[in-house]
Chain A
């Protein structure tokens, strides 16, 4: 069966809709059938963008997924934000800038993606303890490809080394890895097979690398869409018939 590929982190400048359209068209040309674009946390603004983006994606035969990037400073702020936004977005990613936030995000079932934005190894907190907490929740480790393309020399060497360690830990604790582009322009977008090839640089084998751009992101979307559907009751339980249908 042919794989369906997803890029869960396209980052066009949303105030420039022409560039956004070009990036979505490019992603479609490159073979992605599902894309997620982070929208601002303001509810009214987010709704406006989500509607616009859904329309553009439909024109390009791509499935659009709404995503929110949370950047809390404290675990308490993270909990407040999750309470406020979880049911409004299909994907919630937490940008972990501190260890306390990373630990709280790893514990919480409402978090889909753990993202460590800093290329500095000391500010990436995906260690064994973090992976163990994550394996008990349903979160995945998100690895962005953009820094691998933009960094040069020793900085890229250090990043590759850190990513190799993180990928090995994730594999040991069975934490799914999602590889996304983080692209801010069309020229930073790569084909799914090229993303998988870049993922092999941090020692993922080819099937796992391909899963990181297809199976793993699709599993998150499927799970969350089911949860957000009005027929969802609890995991494994959904409403089949109601009212007159029951007679």
Chain B
């Protein structure tokens, strides 16, 4: 029997004066997770990039629901991407993409 994996979707805001390619961003994300939790820990996160908007500096990632706090900590520990200073903030967390978009719009309006 296959066990259904529960997931969480995270909407991220990339706070920087620079723009980054999708690969550069994803590399920085993986490096942060691996630096903090090692390859074993990173393998448990189930991290995947779902969407990326380079112009607006938004991204959506998917992680295993048990690993949200670990990934949040790893994201918070990122201070640079390709040696350019950056801060990445989690705007919203949700179990479905539909609810994430709703929360994300509310977060943007709040700012």
Q: Tally chain B residues at the interface, Cβ within 8 Å.
A: 17
Number of A-B contacts (CB under 8 A): 46
Q: Nearest chain B CB to A187's CB is how many angstroms away?
A: 4
B87 contacts A by Cβ under 8 Å: yes
Complex contact A198–B77 (CB within 8 A): yes
Complex contact A195–B76 (CB within 8 A): yes
Complex contact B69–A187 (CB within 8 A): no
Complex contact A190–B89 (CB within 8 A): yes
Contacts of A150 in B (CB 8 A): 79
Interface residues of B in 55-111 (CB under 8 A from A): 69-70, 72-73, 75-77, 79, 85-87, 89-90, 111
Contacts of B86 in A (CB 8 A): 187
Q: Nearest chain B CB to A196's CB is how many angstroms away?
A: 8
Decide: A149 near B73, CB < 8 A? Known: A191-B90, A193-B90. no
Complex contact B87–A206 (CB within 8 A): no
Decide: A194 near B36, CB < 8 A? Known: A187-B85, A187-B87. no
Query: Using a CB–CB distance below 8 Å, which chain A residues touch chain B?
Result: 29-30, 148-150, 186-191, 193-195, 197-198, 200-201, 206
Query: Given A187-B87, A206-B69, 5 other A-B contacts at CB below 8 A?
Result: A30-B89, A148-B77, A149-B76, A197-B72, A200-B73
